[in-house]
Amino acid sequence: MEEQQKDELLLMRITGEDRPGLTAGIMEILAKYGANIMDIGQADIHNTLSLGILIRVTEDNSGNVMKHVLFKAQDMGVNIQFSPISEADYNNWVSRQGKNRYILTVLGRRVEARQIEAVAQLIADQGLNIDSIQRLSGRPSLDPEKRIRACIEFSLRGNPKNRTELQDKLLKISKKLEIDCSFQKDNMYRRTRRLICFDMDSTLIQTEVIDELAKHAGVGDEVKAITESAMRGEIDFKESFTKRVALLKGLDVNVMQEIAENLPMTEGLERMMLALKKYGYKIAILSGGFTYFGQYLQRKFNIDYVYANELEVDDEGKLTGRYVGEIIDGRRKAELLRLIAQVEKLDLEQTIAVGDGANDLPMLSLAGLGIAFHAKPKVTANARQSINTIGLDGVLYFLGFKDSYLDV
């Protein structure tokens, strides 16, 4: 009876200056000896190659494989190391691969070593492994004036020891070191997010429209005081809204057009909207402000859904101080996000919400990815992630966009 051929597992680590044809040259030898590729990974950073190949080859071929690959490596001027792997080690390694994966995104105006130090220390303290690190932003210019944003993404493996503590510490690091962080589970939902819901006032635009209307109606100070108190979550949104709208009574509706045409847009708004549209995201404005302005932005950026509040107008074209229909408050925003997701046949995990006010918190916690944007402290403290250092296009990094996908 013929004796059965035994197989060996062999790990090859190849490092050195990258050369065209290196991978093909090694594979040609492995193919000749009928090797199976059990695992392979390659990274090329600053023209330095690191290639790992785990092969399975018959025992009587393994010596020849090592000899020929070694000659090839010498020819090409790269280093090579061989390590035999036992079956037990291999099975142990395979069983560890099921661990959870996370993505930690760090962004800011610039990235400094002290920021990465703090983040990397936290990752280690939480018992997570860094699998890879990549830069999502373009290469920074040496001219400090041109450094407008920087973003680094960590791919992590393992289970955080304490998720709440991790979030708290990230928030503290962010505040202290002027960065923004997002910690997300790395799964298919993260890669297939399709619906993004925005608050309007102080998120897409740099003002509260109701304050602008109030200025024109001569009741600016009274309305502003109520708005601020509502956004800090001190008084009920519905109550404050009704009070403020009543103060607008008698205002000519024609001022709305003038205000709309002069709305101060938030930094990064256009860049973000163009990218979201181009890559097929459904976009919604869910606003406790007014439909007139939501629809103005809808036309400008081709937005799919707008839900906001409608001001009642009398026969002479003056505001009556009342509103029409159901008021959009925090609870309603979350409800609308859920409904739109249903209409678009999406899992809630595939949705994103972005907002700054206390009335955005319900939708921020319901969405798969909730981002507090230059938000009030209470909102930032309760959101999973926030952006405070850069403009709205920072949202794109949390979705995994790279500058190289966008700036072509």
356 vs 393 by CB, closer to Mg ion:
356
Q: Does residue 205 contact residue 264 with C-beta atoms inside 8 Å?
A: yes
Minimum CB–partner distance for residue 201 and Mg ion (Å):
4
User: Among residues 401, 149, 152, which one has the least CA distance to residue 274?
Assistant: 401
Residue type, 216: H
Using the contact rule CB under 5 A, the part of the chain among 76-84, 196-204, 247-255, 334-342 near Mg ion is 196-204
By CB under 5 A, is residue 212 in contact with Mg ion? no
Interface with Mg ion: number of residues (CB under 5 A): 5
What is the b/e burial string over 157-196, where b = at least 16 CB atoms within 10 angstroms of the residue's CB?
bbebeeeeebbebbbebbeebebbbbbbebeebbeebbbb
Q: Are 302 and 221 in contact (CB under 8 A)?
A: no
Q: Segment near Mg ion (CB under 5 A), from 64-72, 95-103, 154-162, 193-201?
A: 193-201
Torsion 295-301-302-304 (CA) sign: negative
Cβ proximity to Mg ion: between 180 and 356 the closer is 356
**Catalytic residue positions, numbered:** 199, 201
| DSSP structural state of residue 109 | S
Report, in Å, the least distance between residue 293 CB and Mg ion.
12
- Minimum CB separation of residue 208 from Mg ion in Å reads 7
Beta bridge partners of 152: 106, 135
**What tokens does 271 get?**
């860049």
**How far, CA to CA in Å, does 122 sit from each of 103, 338, 385?**
14, 34, 16
Rounded to 5 degrees, φ, ψ at 52 are -120, 130
Q: Which is nearer to Mg ion, 115 or 266 (CB)?
A: 266
**Which has the closest alpha carbon to 374: 360, 366, 362?**
360
Instruction: State in Å, rounded, how far the first CA of the chain is from the last one.
Output: 65
Q: Could you count the other beta carbons within 10 Å of the beta carbon of residue 232? A: 14
Q: Which of residues 296-335 bind Mg ion (CB under 5 A)?
A: none
- Rank residues 18 and 356 by Cβ distance to Mg ion and give the closer one: 356
Q: How far is the CB of 356 from Mg ion (least distance, A)?
A: 5
Q: Whose Cβ is closer to Mg ion: residue 136's or residue 363's?
A: 363
Site for Mg ion in 344-403 (CB under 5 A): 356-357
Q: Of the listed pieces 45-53, 142-150, 192-200, 325-333, which binds Mg ion according to CB under 5 A?
A: 192-200
Q: How far is the CB of 387 from Mg ion (least distance, A)?
A: 14
Interacting residues of 260 by C-beta distance below 8 A, sequence separation 6+? 292, 293, 296
Q: State the minimum distance, in angstroms, from the CB of residue 199 to Mg ion.
A: 4
Instruction: Report which residue type is found at 83.
Output: S
Nearer to Mg ion among residue 22 and residue 204 (C-beta): 204
Sheet of 36-45, strands arranged across:
36-45, 48-58, 7-17, 79-85
The site map against Mg ion for 143-182 (x = CB under 5 A) is ----------------------------------------
- H or E segment and range at residue 215: helix 209-217
Does position 201 interact with Mg ion (CB under 5 A)? The reply is yes
Measured CA to CA, the distance from residue 282 to residue 345 in angstroms comes to 12
Q: Which is nearer to Mg ion, 207 or 295 (CB)?
A: 207
What residues between 71 and 110 interact with Mg ion by CB under 5 A? none
User: Is residue 202 near Mg ion by the rule CB under 5 A?
Assistant: yes
Contact between 211 and Mg ion by CB under 5 A: the answer reads no
Query: Do 384 and 167 touch, CB atoms closer than 8 A?
Result: yes
**Interaction between residue 199 and Mg ion (CB under 5 A):** yes
**Shortest Å, Cβ 358 to Mg ion:** 9
Choices 199-207, 334-342, 343-351, 372-380 (CB under 5 A): range interacting with Mg ion? 199-207
Q: Which chain residues interact with Mg ion by CB under 5 A? A: 199, 201-202, 356-357
